[in-house]
Amino acid sequence: MATKLEDVGVLMTSPMSSYLEQELNNRFKLFKLWESPSKTQFLDCYADSILAVVGDTKIGADAELIESLPHLRIVATYSVGLDKIDLDKCREKGIRVANTPDVLTDDVSDTAIGLALATLRKICACDGFVRSGLWKYGDFQLCSKFSGKSVGIIGLGRIGSAIAKRAEAFGCTIGYNSRSKKHNINYTYYSNVVDLAANCQILIVSCALTEETRHIVNRDVIGALGPKGILINIGRGALVDEPELISALLEDRLAGAGLDVFENEPVVPEALLGLDNVVLLSHVGSDTVETTKGMADLVVANLEACFLNKPLLTPVV
Ligand code: DGY
């Protein structure tokens, strides 16, 4: 039976977008977890009213939260990534899960290319050089070209494929690693990441974070990429062994890195802050006005579909 939407309690786990908050508030009974002084106190009072959780890349729905909500029917995440949701627990309890694929593919892949360009062409450092007035004392250092380089992509899903398409337009050759070889694709497939790294100049991490892919970029992969190699990560911080990355950068065993994501966000290792061969972003891959609206609309549409007994638009579970 369909449920009256205004009776559906929706729990947002952290502040995401004010537009999303408004849209949820207009349709459902919205609860904001972060406004409560204590999670335990909140759950004691309202757990019975919550039928839906809206999480994001910071706080999703772990086993503890899922277990504490006896009437939970759906987790709709304001992200494409699912690593903050206990999917097994959702499956076990028959709880639906939806995410926000496709609408953010352009922005996240644009960010990957932007990071590659910024890292190789030292765009941020050169901006600092001009602002600090140093230009009048001499020219900025030479940097390295992006066009025509070999690009290796870990994870050739929607975002990885969009990155490949963009890199091709820069005349780059493309290699990739994924769980299996893709059919009807001319890029070179490497069944292991070390071989991919050994055969590219720029390694772009674009796969989902799971127990299998955690630290998929480790010391061996960084070693194979080598002292002229560049690492770009727009996936999740934990896909890269961060201490290994930092020592490689400090010891000139890697030329540079462009990172949108970190293992312990929003904390970024102090050592990275002092390096001029890295470009650091604050997990903003999909953060444009246009895309965040598209993501918010998709979250709302999935929730409406769930409680009106219609098929979810972007189901995961
Ligand atoms: C997501 O939505 O999972 C991504 O992290 C956006 O950058």
* Token pair recorded at residue 173: 């050759």
Mean pLDDT split into 10-residue runs, the chain, 317 residues = 90 97 98 96 97 98 98 98 98 98 98 98 98 98 98 98 98 97 96 98 98 98 98 98 98 98 98 97 98 98 98 98
Residue 14 C-alpha to ligand 1 middle, in angstroms? 15
**pLDDT at residue 154, as a whole number:** 98
Query: Any residues with Cβ below 6 Å from ligand 1, and which?
Result: 57, 79-81, 104, 108, 285-286
The answer to whether domain 5-101+289-307 has CATH 3.40.50.720 is yes
**pLDDT at residue 2, as a whole number:** 74
CA nearest ligand 1 atom 7, residue: 285
Gap between the Cα atoms of 84 and 77, Å rounded: 9
245-253: long-range contacts at Cβ-Cβ below 8 A with a sequence spacing of 24 or more? 245/217, 246/271, 246/272, 248/219, 248/222, 248/223, 249/275, 249/277, 249/278, 250/275, 252/227, 253/222, 253/223, 253/226, 253/227
Q: How far lies 59's CA from each of 170, 233, 243, in Å?
A: 37, 20, 24
Catalytic member of 23, 236, 242, 263: 236
**pLDDT at residue 1, as a whole number:** 66
**pLDDT at residue 258, as a whole number:** 99
pTM: predicted TM-score of the whole model, two decimal places: 0.97
Domains 5-101+289-307 and 105-280 share a fold: yes
**pLDDT at residue 109, as a whole number:** 98
CA nearest ligand 1 atom 3, residue: 81
Among 3.20.20.70, 3.30.2000.10, 1.10.3720.10, 3.40.50.720, what is the CATH number of 105-280? 3.40.50.720
C-alpha 115: how far from its chain's center?
A: 14
Domain ranges of the chain: 5-101+289-307, 105-280
**pLDDT at residue 234, as a whole number:** 98
Catalytic member of 21, 168, 265, 304: 265
* Catalytic residue list contains 71: no
Summarize pLDDT for 207-233 with one digit per residue, the tens. Answer: 999 999 999 999 999 999 999 999 999
Residue found by looking up tokens 């006005």 in the block: 289
* Catalytic residue list contains 236: yes
The torsion of the CA quartet 98, 293, 123, 278, rounded to 10 degrees, works out to: -30
